[in-house]
Structure 1
Amino acid sequence: MTESQVTAPDARPWLRFYAAGVPHRLQVPDVTIPGLLDAAARRHGARTGFRGLHRAADACAETLRTRGIRYGDRVALVLPGCPWFAVAWHAVLRLGAVAVAIDPAAPRASLRHQLADSGAVLVVACASAGERLDAVRADTRVRDVVTVPVDGEWPGGGRPRKPARTAPGAFGPQPGDPAVLAYATADGPAAVLTHANLVAAAHQLALWHPQLRTGRETALAVTPLWQPHGLLFGLTAPLLTGARTILLPDPEPQALLRTARRRKATLLSAGPADCRRLLRRPAHELEALATVRTWLTETLDAETADRVRGSVDAVLVEGYGVPAAAGAVLANPHGANARPGTSGLPLPGTEVRIGREGAPEVGLPPGHAGELLVRGPQVCAGYWGDPAKTARRLLPGGWLRTGDVAVIGPDGYVTVIGDTGAALHGEQ
């Protein structure tokens, strides 16, 4: 089967399984992440705290500007999922600078690689990373480290006021500009995600869940923000849905359950490992999740998925994403068309196909296992500072090699089996 046959519009059988209200076509406005925050502060600010976040991000951006951060500079965020991550991330992007999100628990070698490879000139970090940063800083271009707290309320208090619009060109970012450098592995290359990539992924996630009540949801973000799918659920999609987002620096199960009960969380995003940790808690503690209506996760093993469904009265949505596609590729639909054990269907505006292992330009028909390839507006612009890696991973026509082995059924549902064993997950 040729590529044209695989990707022709009439060869997208998955569209007929979309849930009611999910569009078949994706229309994404030509805006940046700062533009989304401006709009969210105006539309949803009164209840959700976006106005305070807007003020805090503006103030933080001015502080970063006085420290010499300019358009195109890379700023590393070595922080857990805390309010300061949200503030600093938005501040960096408002300046037209590029955020480099790094695991705050990363060992020295990984920290050194990511700081040096990205060329970060400033780091916003938690205190626990201080010793490791001191040990590797001489091997990088970092000229300044700002330490911020990870506990307590985010620095957006004070009397609310009407947020100002971001003046066109005032801070520099345009939709096609780099926004985030995303490392899939500790020592691999970084995917360059533009503002347009992030905005597209946010729309894809929001459109996939038409049941969400705009401005009335409370989202509990367990997936780390330094991972692109954590950014997607915790910071970007809420700008469209108006969801109040709860950030947990340490998503330890007992603390997570206490927070879910106190804040009456209605949305939960947790990876498979976090799902299993939660399920180890006694049944009476899991009653704290009684208000959760939608539980988002990656593809689960059958036992874990059954236990989640048996423990909470929520819709379990299994999906799949990769950092180079902003964490958004596949998801199971709501309702009877969900297929447990699969990664679901391509999100709106997304195309997928299977390429022969070792020769991904050769398309394979449904039912045959091969490398999963993805195309869509959320796919990265390339890999930071390495045209050769970009050429290996991005094929002609905009197809991204995921490095994962998958099978597409005749109805369009995708089952991801594992990785190819090739060096795409940890670049050779």
Structure 2
Amino acid sequence: MTEPHVTAAREPRPWLRFYAAGVPHRLQVPDVTLPGLLDAAARRHGGRSGLPGLHRAVGVCAERLRTLGVRHGDRVALVLPNCPWFAVAWHAVLRLGAVVVAVDPEASPRALRHQLAHSGAVLVMAADSAGERLDAVRGDTCVRGVVAVPVGGEWPGRGRIRKPVRIKRDRSRPGGGGPEPGDLAVLAYATADGPAAILTHANLVAAAHQLALWHPQLREGQETALAVTPLWRPHGMLFGLTAPLLTGARTVLLPTPEPQALLRTARRRRATLLAADPADCRRLLQRPAHELEALATVRTWLTETLDAGTADRIRDSVDAVLVEGYGIPEASGAVLANPRGANARPGTSGLPLPGTEVRIGQEGAPEVALPPGHAGELLVRGPQVCAGYWGDPAATWRRLLPGGWLRTGTLAVLGPDGFATVIGDIGDIGSTGFMGSTGDIGNSGATRGFASHPVQERPRP
């Protein structure tokens, strides 16, 4: 009688062995909403973080929006650059149980028309610079009014009303109260004219915890972060709006990623945390070596996967830990990141974040799992993954597979140790990584006031 052949089972989550010290293997996320997260942060963190001031401003702004007729489930579009009033408006909309539609403030009329009409936004809060473009497309949308926000001065609660804004209520719809964790919070457009991912409060709260847990070295209430990535992107929201609620970091918002302004701000604010996309990293490295000394206080530098030359130059120029990663809007901006320390693998996108699983599916047949070392489509599942696409069941059917797996549209290779290397996009379902080019946001206004979190750096000539 022959002995049966026994094959050792492959470890289901090999990446856990390479997590940095202090990073938990299991993710535990409280069953709270984003307003609940802000309430707790305002109580926990002191004035240096600016969170108590933000909390007060959000309450006033939410009441202002309530008087304008904004109710639970309404979509409110924010067409704003990085500024404190984006943070105030974003949190205020969510506090009412309404839904944020974050739009590129430099979006073309075509992109504005698509996103406003597709989302069914009833109110827009916008910078003055977007006024003409909004006037040109409003007739093709459900927008009932526009609040013109002077991003260089007063906060949104005192913004001008371009048109009569009082939103007529559909009495067949309940007004509702505050949100629940499973409620829709943000409609995230990965492309200018594509579908919008449905991100719930639970999705965004989970992503915030994943990012905070990945960096246990952060000193609670003592960090100063430079937010370069636009807040209208899910990854910008993650770094600039939600994760700071857990870490108590004081966040400085840069309206443009212009290198000289960034370096000047880093020196003045003694920044300890910097998040920038690869293009901004390369622009920074073009500055003279003596100017890069402004980054001497930066301890952690976060970015997307870099080419070897750029990564080496950052390590040679700055005494900071470089953390390369990857994320997409459909996963709240959070999927992969390299661990701190000796286990980091330069040139890869790192390991799945806590609570996240990844696998490689055969290109064109993602339900077929490929073994380590084979290139295919990266699939991900976890509590940060979207619930589908707004008003687009066909896109939901194409991208979300049975078992909760999301097709990322990204070609990647997964090593036997769990490190993933992103190669590029796949065909027409492709979606850019979390740190796409930010472009010129184009705001030169200066805002300060009531120690609000975050603060905006004052541009200089």
TM-score (norm 2): 0.86
Q: Which secondary structure does the structure 1 equivalent of 2:421 belong to?
A: strand
Which residue identity is paired with 2:131? G
Q: Out of 305, 312, 317, which is 2:318 matched to? A: 312
Name the counterpart of 2:67.
Answer: 66
Deviation at 1:281, TM superposition (A): 1.2
Kept in 2: contact 1:83–1:155 (CA 8 A):
no
Inter-partner Cα distance in structure 1 for 2:20 and 2:381: 22
Q: What's the CA shift string for 1:298-337, capped at 9, x where partnerless?
A: 1111111111111111000000000000000000000011
Identity %: 83
Deviation at 1:46, TM superposition (A): 2.3
Kindly report which structure 2 residues correspond to 1:408-423, keeping only aligned pairs within 5 A, or say none: 408-423=414-429
Inter-partner Cα distance in structure 1 for 2:112 and 2:365: 34
Q: Out of 390, 403, 420, which is 2:409 matched to? A: 403
Q: What's the CA shift string for 1:258-285, capped at 9, x where partnerless?
A: 1111110100000111111111111111
Inter-partner Cα distance in structure 2 for 1:265 and 1:279: 17
Q: Out of 338, 341, 345, which is 1:332 matched to? A: 338
Deviation at 1:155, TM superposition (A): 7.6
Name the counterpart of 1:24.
Answer: 25
Deviation at 1:26, TM superposition (A): 0.2
Name the counterpart of 1:217.
Answer: 223
Q: Does 1:257 align with 2:263?
A: yes
Q: Which secondary structure does the structure 2 equivalent of 1:103 belong to?
A: coil
Which residue identity is paired with 1:53? L
- How much is the aligned-residue C-alpha RMSD, in angstroms? 1.6
Deviation at 1:150, TM superposition (A): 2.3
Inter-partner Cα distance in structure 2 for 1:283 and 1:421: 40
Deviation at 1:10, TM superposition (A): 3.2
Inter-partner Cα distance in structure 2 for 1:153 and 1:285: 33
Q: Which secondary structure does the structure 1 equivalent of 2:301 belong to?
A: strand
Alpha carbons of structure 1 residues 154 and 242: separation in structure 2 relative to 1, 3 Å: farther
Inter-partner Cα distance in structure 2 for 1:391 and 1:9: 30
Name the counterpart of 1:166.
Answer: none
Kindly report which structure 2 residues correspond to 1:201-216, keeping only aligned pairs within 5 A, or say none: 201-216=207-222
Q: Segments of 4+ in structure 1 off by > 4 A?
A: 152-156
Inter-partner Cα distance in structure 2 for 1:193 and 1:368: 31
Which residue identity is paired with 1:270? A
Paired residues, number: 407
Deviation at 1:422, TM superposition (A): 3.1
Inter-partner Cα distance in structure 2 for 1:365 and 1:155: 52
Q: Does 1:36 align with 2:37?
A: yes
Deviation at 1:153, TM superposition (A): 8.2
Alpha carbons of structure 1 residues 154 and 276: separation in structure 2 relative to 1, 3 Å: farther
Q: Does 1:230 align with 2:231?
A: no
Alpha carbons of structure 1 residues 53 and 106: separation in structure 2 relative to 1, 3 Å: same
Kept in 2: contact 1:296–1:317 (CA 8 A):
yes
Structure 2 unaligned regions, length at least 5: 1-8, 158-174, 433-461
Which residue identity is paired with 1:241? T
Kindly report which structure 2 residues correspond to 1:93-242, keeping only aligned pairs within 5 A, or say none: 93-151=94-152, 171-242=177-248
Q: What's the CA shift string for 1:208-244, capped at 9, x where partnerless?
A: 0000000000011001101101100001000000000
Which residue identity is paired with 2:417? D
Alpha carbons of structure 1 residues 61 and 21: separation in structure 2 relative to 1, 3 Å: same
Q: Out of 377, 385, 394, which is 2:383 matched to? A: 377
Deviation at 1:116, TM superposition (A): 0.6
Kept in 1: contact 2:97–2:179 (CA 8 A):
yes
Alpha carbons of structure 1 residues 408 and 153: separation in structure 2 relative to 1, 3 Å: farther
Q: Out of 264, 267, 278, which is 1:272 matched to? A: 278
Q: Which entry has the higher C-alpha Rg, 1 or 2?
A: 2
Q: Which secondary structure does the structure 2 equivalent of 1:283 belong to?
A: coil
Kept in 1: contact 2:292–2:317 (CA 8 A):
yes
Q: Does 1:57 align with 2:58?
A: yes
